[in-house]
Amino acid sequence: MKILLVGGGGREHAIASAIAKSPRCGRLYCAPGNAGIAEIAECVPIGVMDFEALSAFALENEIDLVVCSQDDPLCAGIVDYMEEKGLRVFGTRKNAAVIEGSKAFSKNLMKKYGIPTAAYEIFTDPDEALRYLESCSFPIVLKADGLALGKGVLICGSYEEAAAGVKEIMSDRKFGEAGSKMVIEEFMTGREVSVLAFVDGKHLALMSSAQDHKRAGDGDTGLNTGGMGTFSPSPFYTEEVDRACRDLIYQKTVDAMAAEGRPFKGVLYFGLMMTQNGPKVVEYNTRFGDPETQVVLPRMETDILDVMDACIDGTLDRIDLKFADNAAVCVVLASEGYPVSYEKGKVITGLESFHGKQDYFCFHAGTKTGPGGEILTNGGRVLGVTALGATLKEARAKAYEAAGWVSFDNKYMRHDIGKALDEIG
């Protein structure tokens, strides 16, 4: 089978590794890919938003399956475009990708179908938003409606902060068109868990739970980032929580999307918060999480190509999705200064230490190959170092050991990924 994977981050490296493991994988291409993906796939220099060039490449090379798991192209309709060209695509169509592309849409969906989430109001006029804020208690959460690279959420401790946030999002358009509409919602407290599911329009197959660490600094301080590390499974995702989510959230969401005439196919990401009143949805994404994927897929035992085929064909109920009874921890190695400003182009050494080691993975997020074949840093998040272990504690110790094998100038990481696990002994 010939496969084209669209994207080039740590998530795509983890997906490429899972695909390459399948005995059904013949030739694997990745557009645009990165220096790590290039070791297991043929990288093609086409951008993820160039649907025309991607389709032409896929048709010319007789690609059997295109895989896309990135929000921008999915929300812009890459799946619809390629399907019209006769290609077979794993991913979410535009009319269902709106579950991530518009927070107002997803909040209204949850309200209509009784899916638990934070109470909210939607605004298109900044003055109305400001008037509403006068009646609110704080903290409160402001969210730009559209895609904003994970940065469109502001948690505001006072009226003044919130008013400044409304100005940033709606008047100054800091996140562009994403801020033409805004959700203002109740601040919730509790532990967060990410649960990813394969969905075929009707059925869903849940993957093992994971937890992300979004803040840049140790002890959850500093700015929100794309994610500084993850672990899977989450010991806080208990059987009781799982039961509640199955009853109130998962199938209900898939059924709601079908009822709206927007059948959801692909990967549905449930960002959940375990509140005192039970689990609630913080957000939906229409794709694999990053860096959740770097701890979830290395634990998956089922052939990913069989699962993707079943999603496209609507036969997911015949798949028994299996995960190893182990644990994984991923520590992100970033460039000092991320997520604000940072230098790129630093030489990375020590990558060969991972060769031939089964329990260790070094997923490339922002890297490129230099003129002399050396691997260079090429982004804020550079590498995701994942280790498997019998327990989370073992995986955590191994991931930090492996994080030390790699060096580059301005290397930065958090030192407390998975530390919360110590609370539970």
Q: How many residues bind ligand GLY (CB under 6 A)?
A: 7
Output 186 or 260, the one with its CB closest to ligand AMP: 186
Taking the complex as a whole, the smallest distance from the CB of residue 71 to ligand GLY amounts, in Å, to 8
Task: Give the largest Cα separation in the chain, rounded.
Answer: 61
**Cβ-proximal residue to ligand AMP, closest one:** 283
- Residue 208 CA to residue 194 CA, distance in Å, equals 9
> What b-and-e string marks burial along 181-191, b requiring 16 or more CB atoms within 10 Å of the CB?
bbbbbeebebe
Give, for 309, the enclosing helix (H) or strand (E): helix 304-313
Q: Does residue 12 belong to the site contacting ligand GLY (CB under 6 A)?
A: no
- Residue 349 CA to residue 408 CA, distance in Å, equals 7
Q: Determine if residue 266 is left, alpha or beta; phi over 0 gives left, psi from -120 to 50 gives alpha, anything else beta.
A: left
Q: Does residue 214 belong to the site contacting ligand AMP (CB under 6 A)?
A: yes
Question: Binding string to ligand AMP for residues 110 to 129, with x set by CB under 6 A, is what?
Answer: --------x-----------
Range in contact with ligand GLY (rule: CB under 6 A) among 157-165, 260-268, 285-293, 352-360: 285-293
Q: Does residue 266 belong to the site contacting ligand GLY (CB under 6 A)?
A: no
Is residue 249 within 8 A of residue 116, CB to CB? The reply is yes
Taking the complex as a whole, the smallest distance from the CB of residue 185 to ligand GLY amounts, in Å, to 17
Question: Binding string to ligand GLY for residues 223 to 262, with x set by CB under 6 A, is what?
Answer: ----x-----------------------------------
Is residue 225 within 8 A of residue 67, CB to CB? The reply is no
Q: Does residue 182 belong to the site contacting ligand AMP (CB under 6 A)?
A: no
Number of residues in the chain = 425
Output 33 or 418, the one with its CB closest to ligand AMP: 418
User: CB burial class (10 A; 0-12, 13-18, 19+) of residue 233?
Assistant: buried
- Residue 92 CA to residue 71 CA, distance in Å, equals 10
Taking the complex as a whole, the smallest distance from the CB of residue 253 to ligand GLY amounts, in Å, to 16
Strand partners, 331: 229, 385
Binding at 192: pick from ligand AMP, ligand GLY, none (beta carbon under 5-8 Å per type): ligand AMP
Is residue 306 within 8 A of residue 316, CB to CB? The reply is no
Taking the complex as a whole, the smallest distance from the CB of residue 273 to ligand GLY amounts, in Å, to 14
Q: Does residue 290 belong to the site contacting ligand GLY (CB under 6 A)?
A: yes
Output 155 or 258, the one with its CB closest to ligand GLY: 155
Question: Binding string to ligand AMP for residues 327 to 346, with x set by CB under 6 A, is what?
Answer: --------------------
> What b-and-e string marks burial along 344-375, b requiring 16 or more CB atoms within 10 Å of the CB?
eebebeebeebeeeebbbbbbbbbbeeeeeeb
Output 9 or 33, the one with its CB closest to ligand GLY: 9
Binding at 75: pick from ligand GLY, ligand AMP, none (beta carbon under 5-8 Å per type): none
Q: How many residues bind ligand AMP (CB under 6 A)?
A: 14
Q: Which of 354, 367, 366, 370 is nearest to 402 (CA)?
A: 354
> What b-and-e string marks burial along 245-283, b requiring 16 or more CB atoms within 10 Å of the CB?
beebbbebbbebbeebebbbbbbbbbbbbbeeebbbbbb
Taking the complex as a whole, the smallest distance from the CB of residue 283 to ligand AMP amounts, in Å, to 4
Output 156 or 304, the one with its CB closest to ligand AMP: 156
Instruction: Please report, as ranges, the residues that interact with ligand GLY according to CB under 6 A.
Output: 150, 212, 227, 285, 289-290, 292
Residues that bind ligand AMP (CB under 6 A): 118, 141, 150, 153, 155, 185-188, 192, 214, 271, 282-283
